Structure 1
Amino acid sequence: MSVSERTWITAGLPSGAYEALTRELPASRLWSLLLEVVDARAAARRPASLMEQWDRDRFVGLAAVDQRAQLEVDRHLLDAASAFESIELSPVAPLGVCSSMGRASQNKVLSALRGTEVVADPTNVMALECARRLRRDPQAVVRLATSHRCVRAQEIPKVRGFTAHFRIFCLAAAGLERGNHAFVVGAIAEQISVMIDALERLERHGFAFPEKRITVLASEAKAALGDRIAEKVGRPRIARGVLDHQYYDGLRFQIAARSTDGVDVPLIDGGAFDWVARLASNNKAVFIATGAGSQLVPLLFRQSGSNS
């Protein structure tokens, strides 16, 4: 937040109030204070204001997708990920789960009360669960899958199907690294293969993903690992690229396809992250996660005339 924005927001507050709220007041008292404020605000609302917000607020409106169509897609995705434990996440997560680990701005997240935020990215939350399990059993290999409706407060791309709240299908794997980086190479290759299988399953049920492109990106230091991942997946025409994005821990992959509108859509994104290593206080811990824009599938990739 810029200085001018903060000045505008805090204008009219007593001197020292902002510092007290952000740094001095204990968390339990701060949440209690905010609950009182919200309770008073809610009590003052009238039906007309609720309808006005329902009509204009991008966070609360209906999803763009038919629920039956979305459930059909989720079923095929989960079937492809049969080796992964399917979990159902809470709608909220600990405050800062995205901004403290993934370095995303908290202003792009829908912050809530009682030390929570609405889930903006399930992979960050899955990292918490993976770290909890590894701390309990360091020799465990954790594989998790979930489908979750997320909310983000960031600018929305002007592309059909992109909305403030949307469904994401996610995979996560965590474990201690073995010799020769076998875990990270195997886990990324596995998740790429699962997502390719998922798209092929969907293609047998009325969806089309023409011009699929798989790209494996790696930092210069991990270029050899990128080559090994591409070789292990064993698919022809896997493109390679250089990764210069600090969000990932040196390795990333992307799968894109052309929609029925003829638009090139980045549909699946995954890679390695250092989150579980930091959460579990164990530098040997590896975390691999993938996110697929599953809501885009019934909106942009269903073949004309197909209902199954």
Structure 2
Amino acid sequence: MKQQSIITNVLEKAGNKNLINELTTRLSQSEINTLLLALSKEIANKNTPNDILNKYESNRFVKPSELSPIKVKQVEILMLEMAEASGFSSVLLSPASLLGSCSVIAKVDQNNVISATRGLELIADSTNMLAIYLADKIKNKTIDNTKNLVHLSATCRVTRGQMFKVDAFVPHFSLFTLVSSGKDTGSYGFEKAAITSQIQYYTNYFEEILGHKIKVTMNLRNGYTDKIGFIDRVHCYLRETYPDTEITLNKEETDNSYYQGINFKIIVEGIELVDGGFVDWTQKLLGNKKERLLISGTGIDLQLITGMLNKII
């Protein structure tokens, strides 16, 4: 409401209440980029060095984390090396992503993403960019996910716009992510194989390396025709595959449309450290209903803040 009030005030000052609509419909993306660059240049030129320092003091997005960068990098290397050994090829992503990478594909509020000029935004979730990377490779036939699953991993510093209530959290943090891509092969073959690969990775990492027992929760989501049958079959399969792991099922209905069919979470020492699930992003990007994608991620900063890594660091 506050933002809308500010926008209304700005449009009134400009003398054109339809200015935003006219700019976005009459100008090309290239022309809008040029205009935004000119505005940014003018704003920057009006600043003095003292202005920059004063703004630094009040801008939460530019403040550094108090965590040890060496420890963060050590964990990143450890997790990536383990991922490579588990069949997940690592990708070194750009810190920038395309404008709308989150809001268009995953329906995330654009206000929770840091938008920039040149049609870009600061990367807010590396799984989105891994999905785009995969879709581009599949489209150009440099990656083939028809016979075998394609597994990727990445770590990067992500920045998000929403406020955090805990003082130790800053808007940017290191995120480790996994994605598994394939085609629908019937009988939920992709889904079983993909979720097993990712849960196995997190089991190896949290239990064997860090010494913490994990618990898995599976939450029902829409997106599959027989969503109850789907989650029941995958749950049964995982229980058979991991008989020593507590895997609980939550069939409570929800309006959450981010995930398709199943959203899984991994809890360690009572703390939710991994969030993942099936998404339809590559289906949307490639216009192919046969495409399947499983994503998941864990915050490295959160692992350090909660003491999960005390055994090894």
User: What TM-score results when the alignment is normalised by the length of structure 2?
Assistant: 0.87
Q: Deviations 1:243-287 (Å, cap 9, x if unpaired)? A: 6322101111101223xxxxx432110110000011111101000
The structure-2 alpha-carbon separation of the partners of 1:218 and 1:232, relative to structure 1 and needing over 3 Å to count, comes to farther
- Answer yes or no: is the 8 Å Cα contact 1:218–1:226 preserved in 2: no
Number of the residue aligned with 1:146: 154
1:159 to 157, 166, 169: 166
Kindly report which structure 2 residues correspond to 1:34-183, keeping only aligned pairs within 5 A, or say none: 34-82=36-84, 83-135=87-139, 136=141, 137=144, 139=146, 141-156=149-164, 158-159=165-166, 161-183=168-190
Matched to 2:159, the amino acid is V
The structure-2 alpha-carbon separation of the partners of 1:59 and 1:201, relative to structure 1 and needing over 3 Å to count, comes to farther
Number of the residue aligned with 2:302: 296
* Percent of residue pairs bearing the same amino acid type: 27
The structure-2 alpha-carbon separation of the partners of 1:110 and 1:276, relative to structure 1 and needing over 3 Å to count, comes to same
CA deviation after TM superposition for structure 1 residue 138, in Å: 5.3
| Residue 275, structure 1, aligned to residue 305, structure 2 | no
The structure-2 alpha-carbon separation of the partners of 1:236 and 1:14, relative to structure 1 and needing over 3 Å to count, comes to same
CA deviation after TM superposition for structure 1 residue 18, in Å: 2.4
Deviates more, 1:217-226 or 1:101-110: 217-226
* Aligned structure 1 segments of 4 or more residues deviating by more than 3 angstroms: 1-6
Number of the residue aligned with 1:237: 246
- Answer yes or no: is the 8 Å Cα contact 1:216–1:252 preserved in 2: yes
- Answer yes or no: is the 8 Å Cα contact 1:169–1:294 preserved in 2: yes
Q: Distance in 1 between matches of 2:41 and 2:209?
A: 46
Kindly report the root-mean-square deviation, in angstroms, between the aligned alpha carbons of the 2 structures.
2.1
Number of the residue aligned with 1:246: 257
The structure-2 alpha-carbon separation of the partners of 1:29 and 1:122, relative to structure 1 and needing over 3 Å to count, comes to same
The structure-2 alpha-carbon separation of the partners of 1:40 and 1:133, relative to structure 1 and needing over 3 Å to count, comes to same
Q: Distance in 2 between matches of 1:23 and 1:275?
A: 26
The structure-2 alpha-carbon separation of the partners of 1:17 and 1:232, relative to structure 1 and needing over 3 Å to count, comes to same
Q: Distance in 1 between matches of 2:62 and 2:241?
A: 40
Gaps of 5+ in 2: 222-226
CA deviation after TM superposition for structure 1 residue 199, in Å: 1.4
| Residue 197, structure 1, aligned to residue 204, structure 2 | yes
- Answer yes or no: is the 8 Å Cα contact 2:182–2:293 preserved in 1: yes
Q: Distance in 2 between matches of 1:126 and 1:110?
A: 18
Q: Distance in 1 between matches of 2:258 and 2:56?
A: 35
Matched to 1:255, the amino acid is I
The structure-2 alpha-carbon separation of the partners of 1:229 and 1:92, relative to structure 1 and needing over 3 Å to count, comes to farther
Q: What is the number of equivalent residue pairs in this alignment?
A: 296
Q: Deviations 1:70-118 (Å, cap 9, x if unpaired)? A: 1111122113212111111111111101001111111110001111111
